[in-house]
Structures are given as C-alpha cells and as structure tokens.
Structure 1
Amino acid sequence: MESQHEHHPLFMPLVFVGGLIFGFGLGFSHMAQPEVVLNFLQFADFGLLFVMFGAAVVTGITFFGVKRLRSEAPLTGVTYTRRLKTLDRNVIFGGGIFGIGWGLSGICPGAAYASLGVGNVVILYGIAGMFVGAYLQGVWRSSLADRGAAASSAD
C-alpha cells in the first residue's frame, strides 16, 4: 500500500539491495532449489526448517526491537502499526492455492527468482504460472467489485 509520505531517496536502492541479500541467502542456503524444498515437504531433509527458524528469530527480534527504538519508519515516515488480517474465505482459499503451488513446484515466488540466479531456467514455467494466476485473480476480484458496485447503484 502506497503511503502519502514522500519516500527517502535511498528507499528504492535499499529495497533492491535487500532483495539481493535475500536472494543470495536463498541461493547460499540451497533453498532456491526446488528439489531441496520438495525433500523437506516429503520429510526427507529438514534443512528448510532451520532456515525458516533462523528467519523467524531475526524477524521477531527486529519487530520487537524496532518499535521500541523508533515510532516511524526512517525512510518513509509511516508510523509503525499492527496490520491485522481477518481469517476469511479469501485468506483460506489463497493460502490453499499458495500451498498447493508450493507443494507441486517446490518453490515460492521469492525463491523462484533466486532460482533463476542459480541457473534454473526451467523455473520460468513456474514464474509464468504465478503471473497468470495473479492476473486471473485480479480479473476475478475486479469482476466481483464491478458486480458489487452495480448492485449497490441499483439500490
């Protein structure tokens, strides 16, 4: 969601560097290889569990500490708040589709791009599928919004 505040000039370069570090970490930990993820999902290799645990610890410490040190984001000026998402059918349905795609392909969207970086060009099929799925979901949500607008204007 775009804020009304101006972004700091370093915002996008830092986002880019953060993405590079994230991609490098996925490649270095071999998590950009679908075979490793599929082995985890088949209970044959638990390396992914340690990677996810490490990421959860770093994220937890960051979220805990940053709110105590600052009240707003340094590059955007946006106040830190909790974003609570209700558990509705869209969350369940979307999570189910994500999980099925992750289980079938062995890769999630972030790792798919990192997988390209380690030479897995076959993953382009999976990335194309993600784009098609996102596009179809956007068309579907737009049609629902259009129907809702038409129904409320008829009232």
Structure 2
Amino acid sequence: DDELRRTLQSLACGKKKVLKKIPAGRDVEDDDVFRFNADFDDPHARVHINSIQAKVSPEESQKTNENIEGDRKLFLDAAIVRIMKSKKEMTYEKLKAATIDAVKNHFVPTVDAIKKRIDGLVSQEYLRRSDEDKNLFFYVA
C-alpha cells in the first residue's frame, strides 16, 4: 500500500506529470482519482521517473546501524584471523596496521574497534597473548 502511494505520487506529482491527480495536491489519499495525462509530452523516447523515497523511521535506522556494526565486527574478526594465520605471530601495532590495510576498501575501522576485536579473539582462543610481551600475539591453530 505504501509502495503504491509512493509510485502514484511519483507519477502524478513529480517533474514529469504522467498522471493527473484529482484533487490536486502532493499527498495521496484513498479517495483520490488518477487519470492518464493526455497532455503529457516528452521529446525523449524514454522517460525517467524518480521514485519518491519512503521516510525511514528512527527505529529502522537504528536497526540498520546495528546490523552494519555486527557485520563489521565479523569482517574485522575474519581479517585478523586471516592475517594471524599467515604470519603466526605479530605485535599489536603491526597487527593493527595490517588489519586497517586489509579492510580499508570496505570501511575504516576505529583503533578501539580493532583492539576490542583482538581482545575478543584472545578470549575466544583464536589468538594468544605472549606472557613476556603483552603487545605480542600468537595465532592458535
């Protein structure tokens, strides 16, 4: 129903008025009548009609942001594990730089996010921290 309203609004109230709306106005109501606009003429063979976007509620926006954050956490975890699997051991600074380099085409992670993901992987026993040097990490097979 909402998609139909947006489509009708695009066709009747946009720049190219393909449909006539009775009564005139921007809002589409249930009792509005739409007719083909016989006066419509466009010199181009194809007509591009921009659809009117639905307003996103704050709840939907928050849920989308939470999904993105969850996906980024998994992406960081996978990148860190791949790096450590190939290198076997790395210092925190080198691992941080390699992680940023590995994911830079997808997003720019914060240093805090990388640190949290490394700590999470240590607690999940994918990585192990050196007993002598707390900045040195080992990959756990």
Same fold per superposition (TM over 0.5): no
Greater helix share, 1 or 2? Answer: 1
* TM-score w.r.t. length of structure 1: 0.28
Q: TM-score, normalised by structure 2?
A: 0.30
**Higher strand proportion (structure 1 or 2):** 2
